[in-house]
Amino acid sequence: MAERKVPLRTCVGCRRVREKTKLLRIVRTPDGQVTADFSGRAAGRGAYLCPGTGCLETALKKGGLARSLHAALTPEQAENLRRELKEFEERDP
């Protein structure tokens, strides 16, 4: 039986290609909200980040996250993402 391919995605912060399961999906929902998608199944435009806050800061500073989501992020949305990633890191080291 043939082996299944492992889906790969690129982090929009560090541009490193990793397995999809090792990255965190950020989603812009159809109503314009930007949030972390821990299930990986939320509806909307998605982008992938390494689960550390360093890649998030790089993606915000260089505009990679906004470019991937096809929307400018407000300061409130950026702060919400920082908080969600921090909670995720504390919950799942």
Which residue do the tokens 């400018």 mark? Answer: 72
CATH number, domain of 53, equals 3.30.1230.10
Domain of 75 in residue numbering reads as 8-91
In a domain, 3, yes or no: no
Domain count within the chain: 1
* SS3 state of residue 4: coil
In a domain, 42, yes or no: yes
92: left (phi over 0), alpha (psi -120 to 50) or beta: beta
In this prediction, residue 93 carries a pLDDT of 58
In this prediction, residue 57 carries a pLDDT of 95
Please check whether residue 38 is in contact with residue 64, taking contact to mean a CB–CB distance below 8 angstroms.
Answer: no
Burial 23-41 (b: 16+ CB within 10 A, else e): bbbbbbeeeeebbbbeeee
Q: What is the pTM of this model?
A: 0.90
In this prediction, residue 52 carries a pLDDT of 80
Each of the 93 residues of the chain gets a pLDDT tens digit; together they read 789 999 999 999 999 999 999 999 999 999 999 999 999 899 999 999 998 879 999 999 999 999 999 999 999 999 999 999 888 887 765
